[in-house]
Structure formats: structure tokens, C-alpha cells
Amino acid sequence: MKLLEDRIRSDGEVLPGNVLKINSFLNHQVDPELMKKVGEEFSHLFKDSGITKVLTCEASGIAPGVMTAYELHVPLVFARKKKPATLNDAVYWADVYSYTKKVTNQICVEQKFLHKDDCLLIIDDFLANGEAVKGMINIANQAGAQIAGVGIVVAKTFQGGSKWIKDHGYHLEALAEIASLANNQVHFVGEK
């Protein structure tokens, strides 16, 4: 997605540890015009997949997730990282290992929001090692729901997540694919 790549080039900042900071339009401040276009793009890419719900993870998946769900005319469900006091016991849990923090956290979704007749589109802001996506797939499987595919705003293809998702037979679409962040430079897949 050209618009997104241009925005990453103009506003993105490469931090040590192969991290791309895009806090001005996605991970802290959010650009709703750009998120609307992200939603339109995912909706177009997955329009014939019979999606009944979009599944993402708080916090940064919610902006692209809700715009995608809006375009597809389906609800968005976001997995929570802490069990809220208002949540009852009927919850699906999954472990999510963080390579950056070397800790395992849990995500959860209340069982009543996912069913075996659901066909899910998993959306997330970043794809690195794929641990968050694996956790959402785990939760979808516990619910017996189908997975139509995985839509990622920014995929760092030099880390393991993209390969894992494709190797496991899932339809993966990434709107910006980063091949390298070496020398503080953003290199997109396929660019010269």
C-alpha cells in the first residue's frame, strides 16, 4: 500500500533492536484517514472470504481492526491483555510469549463473542515473530471458529512471523512489508 509506505518513510523512526516507531499515526496518535484506507484495503483483500467477525488484540490492533470491521459490516472483537473485573468466567485464554520482554503474557476473549460458525479475519498492527497472531489463532481454535486469514498493517518479514503464518496455510496479507531495518534504514520488500 503506497500511501502507507510513504507515511512510514516520512514519519517512521528506526530504533535499536529492529523496531520501527510509528507513534505519529498508528501506535500512539492515530491518523483516522489513513486507518480508513487501511480498513478499505483489508476489506477489499478479504471481501469474498465470508468473514463474520474481525479479531484483534488491544491496544494497537483496535484502530485498523475497527476500520476493517466497519468496511466489512461485521463486529470487531479485541482480545484483552488483562482480565477485566466485569468479565465472567467463560473466557478463552492463550499464552503470548514476548521476545522483546522475555515474558509470557496471557490474552483472553469472552466465550460468548466467538462461535464455531464464525469465520474470523485476524488483524494486527505489527507482525514480528508472530506470537500475538499465534495466540489469536489459538483462541479461534478453542472457539472452533474458522480463520479466513490474517491482515497485518506492517510486517517485518525478516523476523519469523510471516513465514510461520504462510507455512501453516493461512492467507496472509500485509499492507507494508519490511525486508530490513539495517543501518537505521527502512527497506521494503521488492524495492530496488
Binding residues for 5-phospho-alpha-D-ribose 1-diphosphate: 128-132
Binding-site member from 60, 139, 140, 152 for Na ion (CB under 5 A): 60
Closest CA to 51 of 80, 74, 29: 74
Our finding on whether 68 is near Na ion (CB under 5 A) is no
Residue 64 cell numbers, joined: 485498523
Q: How far is the CB of 162 from ligand G4P (least distance, A)?
A: 10
Binding-site members are 20, 27, 128-132, 156
Question: Which cell is 184 given?
Answer: 537505521
CB-wise, 59 or 87, nearer to ligand G4P?
A: 59
Contact 150, 171 (CB under 8 A): yes
CB of 56 to Na ion, least distance (A): 8
Cα 12 from chain centroid (whole Å): 18
Least distance between ligand G4P and beta carbon 148 (Å): 20
Backbone angles phi, psi at 98, to 5 degrees: -105, 115
- Binding residues for ligand G4P, rule: CB under 6 A, are 19-22, 27, 57, 59-61, 98-100, 125-132, 156, 161
Residue 131, contacted partner among ligand G4P, Na ion, none, CB below 5-8 A by kind: ligand G4P
Contact between 52 and Na ion per CB under 5 A: no
Rounded to a whole number of angstroms, the minimum distance from the CB of residue 111 to Na ion is 22
Judged by CB, which is closer to Na ion: 52, or 60?
A: 60
Check binding of 56 to Na ion (CB under 5 A). Answer: no
155 - beta bridge partners?
Answer: 127, 177
DSSP characters over 126-180: EESS-HHHHHHHHHHHHHT-EEEEEEEEEEETTSSHHHHHHHTT--EEEEEEEEE
CB 155 within 8 A of CB 125: no
Does the protein bind Na ion through residue 125 (CB under 5 A)? yes
Where does this chain bind Na ion (CB under 5 A)? 60, 125
